[in-house]
Amino acid sequence: MNASSSDILTQGLTVKLEADLDKNFGETIAREAHGEKLFGCIQCGNCSAACPLSVWMDYTPRKVIAMVRAGFKQEVLSNRTVWLCASCYQCTVECPKGIKITDVMYALKREAIENKVYPKNFPVPILARTFFNEVKRTGRINEIFLLTIYYLRYNIFKMLGYASLGMKLFMKRRLSLFEKGMSDKKEFKAMLNQ
């Protein structure tokens, strides 16, 4: 038997066993995304067609909803669809069943980060995490710092690609290294550290 025919036996199978599903996944995500409506999805695909990014997704948003509902936790969390969602809310305003798909995507992002199962070295969660820490630290965002830290973590070579743009903006005095932060961070931090 050659290698490829044994691959075919084990990889990319189109079967899912009940035992491998996470039956509570749908409920969890529905709760996280403010509503049980996702169980009312009629699989019409309007969300997928409305989505400006679905063409690059591995599962269309409609499919993600179906998989969440059915408990395909592993597949949903490790695919790149949720990380491609730009939160443009087009799907949400078009869904005929009033499902807040964007909120479902957010809930899945949080779930993926919590479970540490997002695609490895995928840039979107890294930026999100960097952003989050920055705000926690300073209360505001300075985009230069933000991007620098992000590229340091993600891919320092990529940064070079942006260096000339950064330089141009800097020369035009559209980026500054030092921005006024919050005048008083005590009470802000107190709130976040609860």
Partner 1 sequence: MPINDEARVGFYICHCGHNIANMVDVTSVAEYAAKLPNVVLSRDYKYMCSDPGQEMILKDAEVFKLNRIVVASCSPLLHENTFRNATAKAGINQFYFQMVNIRENASWVHEDKELATVKAKDLVRAAISRVVFHKALEKKKVPVNPDVLIVGGGISGISAALNIANAGKKVYLVEKDPTIGGYMAKFDKTFPTLDCAACILTPKMSAVLKHPGITLMSYSEVAAVEGYVGNYQVKVTRKPRYIIEEKCVGCFACIDACIFKEAKFSDEFNEGLSKRKPVYIPFPQATPQVVLIDDKTCIHFKTGKCPQSCAKACDRNAFDFDQKPVTQELEVGTILLCTGFQPFDAARAPYYGYGRYPNVYTSLEVERLVNASGPTGGNVVLRDKTRPKSIGIIHCVGSRDEKTNKWCSRVCCMYSLKLAHLLKEHTDAEIYNFYIDMRTPGKGYEEFYDKLLNEGVHFIRGRVAEVSDWAINEHEKGKLVIRAEDTLIGMVRRIPVDMVVLAVGIEPGKDAQDIRRVFNISCSNEGFFLERHPKLAPVETFTDGIFIAGACQGPKDIPDSVAQAGAAAAQALALIDSGFVELEPNTAFINEELCCGCQVCINLCPYHAITFDETKSVSHINEAICKGCGTCVAACGSGAITQNLFEDQQILSEIYGLLVE
Partner 2 sequence: MKYLYYPGCSLKSSGKLYEISLLAVLKRLGVEVEELENWNCCGATNYMSINESYAIEITARNLAIAERMVGIEMIVPCAACFMGFLKTQKYMESDPVTREKVNDLLNKAGLSYTGKVKIRHPLDVLVNHLGTDALAKTAEMPLKGIKVASYYGCQLIRPYATFDDQWNPHTMDDIARAMGATPVDWPLKSRCCSGSMTSTMTGIGLRMNYVILKEAKSRGADVIITACPLCQFNLECFQGKISRKLKEDVRIPVMYFTQLMGLAMGIPAKQLGLKQMLSPSLVLT
Say how many residues make up the chain.
194
Distance from C-alpha of 121 to C-alpha of 115, rounded to nearest angstrom: 15
Q: Going by C-beta distance under 8 Å and a sequence separation of 6 or more, which residues neighbour residue 64?
A: 76, 79, 81, 82, 104, 105, 108
The size of the interface with ligand SF4 (CB under 6 A), counted in residues, is 27
Q: List own/partner pairs for 131-139 with CB under 8 A and 24 or more apart.
A: 136/192, 138/181, 138/182, 138/185, 139/181, 139/182, 139/185, 139/188, 139/189
Q: Going by C-beta distance under 8 Å and a sequence separation of 6 or more, which residues neighbour residue 127?
A: 150, 154
Regarding 143 and contact with partner 2 (CB under 8 A), the answer is yes
Residue 169 touches which of partner 1, ligand SF4, partner 2, none (Cβ within 5-8 Å per kind) = partner 2
Q: How far is the CB of 14 from partner 1 (least distance, A)?
A: 12
- Residues 88-127 interacting with partner 1 (rule: CB under 8 A): 94, 96-98
Question: Stretches 8-16, 22-30, 61-69, 80-88: which one binds partner 2 (CB under 8 A)?
Answer: 80-88
Regarding 73 and contact with partner 1 (CB under 8 A), the answer is no
For residue 84 the two structure tokens come to: 């491609």
Regarding 89 and contact with ligand SF4 (CB under 6 A), the answer is yes
Q: Which residue, chain included where needed, has tokens 């996470």?
A: 22
Question: Stretches 2-10, 21-29, 40-48, 133-141: which one binds partner 2 (CB under 8 A)?
Answer: 133-141
Regarding 107 and contact with ligand SF4 (CB under 6 A), the answer is no
- Residues 4-43 interacting with ligand SF4 (rule: CB under 6 A): 41-43
Residues at the interface with ligand SF4 (CB under 6 A): 41-47, 50-51, 53, 61-62, 65, 85-91, 95-97, 99, 101-102, 105
